[in-house]
Amino acid sequence: MDKRVTQKGFTLIEVLMATTLLGIFATAYMAAEGFNVTDSVTMKKEMVLQKLCENKLNQTLLDVPDLEDGLTLAPKTGNFSEEGLPEYEYSIEFQRLKIPDISKIIGEGGGDGEGGDSGGDAGEGDDGGGMKAGNDAIAKKIFEMVKKNVEEMIWQVRVTVKEKGTDFPFTLASFVSNRKAKIKVQI
């Protein structure tokens, strides 16, 4: 007699493997979902910080105080209790624009002026070297005059907003012009 056994169902090993794979996929899915929720909460906080920072910067740009050296001593601080968000605080800092010296911009050496080329070659006449030195002196004088005027006219404002209890700040900066500055030209 020929007995044929027909199998209708899964073996215990197959069921255990399927259950293990399902468990692994479910764990991975839940972990990814948890990260998404955490990222969403963080992104929401970042968006609130950004909006508050933008609003405070815009308010500052619309109502610029008198820009004088006393303004740079301590930042102006406060919170957003008027907007119904007392858990957020801000600081506003003003700084003068700092332009480096021309020697740092063009890369001149510190001690020997033009990098040791001020004496001229044996074939050059006195006019060529003297003309270059004169032009350099005029350019430096013009640069210094422009530098002083720009540093007086342009200031930087930096607004930082953070939630109390956290160390995660959001900062925006912009430039403001000093309306009371006068351009001084001395020849």
Cβ proximity of 163 and 111 under 8 Å: no
β-sheet with 85-96: strand ranges across? 76-80, 85-96, 154-163, 169-177
pLDDT of 85 above 50? yes
* Residue 7 resides in a domain: no
Helices and strands in the chain, H and E counts: 3, 4
* Residue 186 resides in a domain: no
Supply the DSSP symbol for 20.
H
Tell me: the pLDDT tens digits for 124-170?
A: 444 555 667 777 788 888 888 888 888 888 889 999 999 888 878 89
* Residue 140 resides in a domain: yes
Element (H, E) at 131: helix 126-153
Tell me: the pLDDT tens digits for 24-81?
A: 999 888 888 877 777 777 788 888 889 999 999 998 888 887 777 777 778 888 888 8
Match 């002196």 to its residue by tokens. 137
Domain count, the chain: 1
* Residue 185 resides in a domain: no
Give this prediction's pTM: 0.60
Cβ proximity of 156 and 175 under 8 Å: yes
Task: Give every CB contact of residue 179 below 8 A, 6+ residues apart in sequence.
Answer: 64
CB atoms inside a 10 Å sphere around CB 49 = 21
Match 């001229």 to its residue by tokens. 120
* Residue 2 resides in a domain: no
* Residue 3 resides in a domain: no
* Residue 121 resides in a domain: no
| Calpha distance 44→46 (Å, rounded) | 5
- Least confidently predicted of 22-31, 85-94, 164-173, 175-184: 175-184
* Residue 44 resides in a domain: yes
Residue 51 has what pLDDT?
92
User: Closest Cα partner for 61 from 184, 179, 185, 145?
Assistant: 179
Q: Where are the extended beta strands (E) located within 40-182? A: 76-80, 85-96, 154-163, 169-177
Per the structure, the complete domain to which residue 172 belongs is given by 12-116+127-177
